[in-house]
Structure 1
Amino acid sequence: MLIDNPRGGYRFLTGISPFSSGVVASEGHEVVHATLSAHRPWREGFELIDAHLADVGRGRPALCAIELRCPVPYSMPGFIEFNAGYVELIRSWDLYVGDHNPLARTNVAPAEDPPSEPVLHAFSYTVEAPVGASTTFVVSGAGEIPEATLDDNEIIRRGETGPEAMREKAGHVVATMGSRLAAMGADWDQVTTTDVYTVFMHEGLLEDAVIGQMGPATRHGLRWYRSRPPVHDLDFEMDVRGIRSEIAV
């Protein structure tokens, strides 16, 4: 379900308690994507976000998406425990819309040079834009598990990482991206960035399971991060966005 967040200048696709499934700028607004020049511990990163939003004349409600990096994948209980602290901070910023956390999120564990603690990698926020400007959006990261569940027993082909299993996992994830885009009123032809996170990059995996479903978005290519999803036994994750403004902070 797509819910309006008028304080933030965007609408969001409902997800689970720690994050929404994606955000799309409301009319008269656009989403700006900001990547940190150096990672910050995630709570310190929120202080940076607060200062940046003040500098650009936007309040906290304009924050619409967060990208985190963690040292290693969590157990499912450990992931739920981390999310509890994250949700507490989001609530302290008064960002919830009713019972819903509106912020999109990606959280992955780099295989090379991992951080020693959870860190902020990037964030997105809304600014005012001319009425009629092209749609901008961020779709949250998703792994090979059914929507709206944190039950690791539901992981597709759990414990399997061979070529056939990875194609099935990747196919499920790219289909999730497509269904989220459609629910947000967007399509692959509006996607400007496609990110893939896995350490099991078998020959032909992207060609067989991902690229064929991206359609016009292939003109922008895709970025592979040799990283693991944030939960043990998840092996493939993606996120996508359609953005006009990318900055470094």
Structure 2
Amino acid sequence: MLIYNPNGHYYFLKGIDPYSCGVVAELGYEIVHVTLTHLIPWHKGFSQIEAYLKLIGHNRNALCAMQLRCPEPFTMDEFVAFNQEYCSVLQEWDLYIDGFNPIARTNVAPVIDPPRESMLYAFSYLQPVNQLDQPTFVVAGAGELIDGILKPEGIVRRNETSMEAMREKVIYVVRVMGDRLTKLGGRWEIVNRINIYTNHSISHLAEDLVLPCVNQLHGLHWYQSRPPVIDIEYEMDLRGINQERYLDLRSL
């Protein structure tokens, strides 16, 4: 279900408590994606985002998506507890719309050089634009967790990493990505960033299951990372935007 956020000038796809399933800019606006050149603690990240948005003439309502990096995968209970703390900040910012969290999110655990605490890696925001030929959107991260319900029994082929099990996991996640993309009014051919997060080799999986579905012009980006919950093995997110920025927010 798409829900309009009049304060942020975007629509969001209803998700679960910690995040929406994706966001798409309304007519007259576009989504800009910002990647940090240096990670900062996630809680401080919110204040730095607000300072940056104020600097460029926007308020906190322009925020529409977050990307976090955590030290290691959480247990399910730990993940729920972290999400409660995270969501409390969104509520303090008064970002919820009719009781729903509108902010899309990806949260993964790097395998190499993981951070010591959960950190802000990237965020997206809305800005006015005169004309665009196509919508701009961000699809939130999703792993092989059926319907996103935060219960261990919802994990596809839990505790299995055989070739067959991994194929089933990837098939499920690609289907989720396509479903969210369609509901946001997007199309695979206008997606220009596809991220894969897993500690498993992706060559055979991507060639057989991902590449046939996507716009191959821009390729795939593999992060050797683990999804944020123990026993989830494969995650993806994607976006279709016109502006990517790289910033150091530490000095704001």
> Normalised by the size of structure 2, how large is the TM-score?
0.96
Equivalent residue, structure 2, for 1:221: 219
Q: How has the CA–CA distance of structure 1 residues 143 and 126 changed in structure 2, closer, same or farther, with 3 Å as cutoff?
A: same
Equivalent residue, structure 1, for 2:250: none
> Does residue 1:122 correspond to 2:122, yes or no?
yes
Residues in 2 aligned to 1:147 and 1:32: alpha-carbon distance in whole angstroms: 28
- 1:97-133 CA distances to partner (integer Å, 9 max, x unpaired)? 0110000000000000000000000000000011454
Residues in 2 aligned to 1:168 and 1:248: alpha-carbon distance in whole angstroms: 35
Equivalent residue, structure 2, for 1:230: 228
Residues in 2 aligned to 1:228 and 1:99: alpha-carbon distance in whole angstroms: 30
CA RMSD of aligned residues (A): 0.9
> Does residue 1:178 correspond to 2:178, yes or no?
yes
Equivalent residue, structure 2, for 1:241: 239
Runs of at least 5 residues in structure 1 that lack an aligned partner in the other structure:
none
- 1:190-242 CA distances to partner (integer Å, 9 max, x unpaired)? 1010000001115511112211122xx11110100000000000000000000
User: Retained in 2: the 8 A contact 1:28–1:133?
Assistant: no
Residues in 1 aligned to 2:33 and 2:103: alpha-carbon distance in whole angstroms: 13
Runs of at least 5 residues in structure 2 that lack an aligned partner in the other structure:
248-252
- 1:50-89 CA distances to partner (integer Å, 9 max, x unpaired)? 1110011111011000000000000000000000000000
> Does residue 1:195 correspond to 2:195, yes or no?
yes
Residues in 1 aligned to 2:18 and 2:83: alpha-carbon distance in whole angstroms: 6
> Normalised by the size of structure 1, how large is the TM-score?
0.97
Q: How has the CA–CA distance of structure 1 residues 190 and 124 changed in structure 2, closer, same or farther, with 3 Å as cutoff?
A: same
> Does residue 1:207 correspond to 2:176, yes or no?
no
SS of the residue aligned with 1:182? helix
Equivalent residue, structure 2, for 1:85: 85
Residues in 1 aligned to 2:3 and 2:148: alpha-carbon distance in whole angstroms: 16
Equivalent residue, structure 2, for 1:70: 70
User: Retained in 2: the 8 A contact 1:71–1:114?
Assistant: yes
- 1:137-159 CA distances to partner (integer Å, 9 max, x unpaired)? 00000000112411111100100
Worse overlay, 2-11 or 195-204: 195-204
SS of the residue aligned with 1:157? coil
SS of the residue aligned with 2:207? helix
Equivalent residue, structure 1, for 2:104: 104
Aligned residues: percent identity?
A: 49
Worse overlay, 126-135 or 30-39: 126-135
Q: How has the CA–CA distance of structure 1 residues 81 and 44 changed in structure 2, closer, same or farther, with 3 Å as cutoff?
A: same
Residues in 2 aligned to 1:147 and 1:129: alpha-carbon distance in whole angstroms: 34
Residues in 2 aligned to 1:105 and 1:240: alpha-carbon distance in whole angstroms: 11
SS of the residue aligned with 2:19? coil
> Does residue 1:154 correspond to 2:170, yes or no?
no
Residues in 1 aligned to 2:150 and 2:79: alpha-carbon distance in whole angstroms: 9
SS of the residue aligned with 1:45? helix
Worse overlay, 43-52 or 13-22: 43-52
> Structure 1: which 4+ aligned runs deviate by more than 4 Å?
none
Number of matched pairs? 247
Residues in 1 aligned to 2:133 and 2:95: alpha-carbon distance in whole angstroms: 25
